[in-house]
Structure 1
């Protein structure tokens, strides 16, 4: 059984070293590439103010988060949920350090001790080099409906990323299958053409020359055009 967890977080900012904290974790479970209803979702009280720049991104206010649990109250439950599963994260270089920092404050091991991490941003940059590879851009490119995404939200973004990931990886397999089929067909046709040319080269062609009567008629026909 292959178990994967598609994960996203929302935070108060970009730098945990400067006091920014996680305010939301959203996870979607996939078993053998099938999305299940076993998801993990929690809002977290960051015990600090909410910068307006972050609020404009996810819409989570200091007041809304004030009665939510602290990370210390949900950290172990989160680790138990992801235990042993591969983590699928868009721009994992942002989320993973935040999670590891919060877990370290509890004396718990980093997420990478229990799980392998697949970064879909790196994957997208390899598949679509030179193009925009934000989650919204990938949704548009791969036909994933993101019309509900007026603001960032960890659970919603995980749902969208799960569909994007399935489309990206499924599309790759289809592409290579098609490439191999086309290559095989081209090689088969080339072999047929080579055999046909070889066969034609063995044919003895008969050369027919015009007799005197036919030459006289042809010459008379050409004389009409001299005047």
Structure 2
């Protein structure tokens, strides 16, 4: 959209988009186990967690970051209470859940293709029974946004030139420029192999390109020809 104002300026919007291959991946896997008592559930979750971390470390992937980020234990109650009952429900066991975060940053697209599948295969084979799949992202989102911003400014210049020709006015130069709206999130994840459940994966995973966008609002001074 463009408009002519009383300040002798032309105001235009500019939009820019860059599509880049991701160079990083993130996933989280978890172990959910049940036991008759608190210690049994907690110990089983801890044992499986150590097994998963060891399996991922054996992959010997340079720069792979693996860490246990959280563990929780929840009591399991016996059914529903009778409406008139005031007694608390009887606890019949415990469920322990352990979450493991896996991150690989700053690698080639070929490495992402290969290692994403290996990471999930190793984790699920070692005892993980839940995963949110692989998500890909850019390790340098600011650089991607700056490239999109440059494209947005160039788009604004072209729009202003087109308006000047159509309106038979002469552009005198920039008056102001500002970003419009929220910054495009270069770390926005592209998902792949979502919700795999407890089934191991042997199929290849193809990382999709990530689109980073930017928008500007520019004002150009002009004079009548």
> TM-score, with normalisation over the residues of structure 1?
0.26
Structure number, greater radius of gyration:
1
Q: Name the one with the larger strand percent.
A: 2
Normalising by structure 2, report the TM-score.
0.26
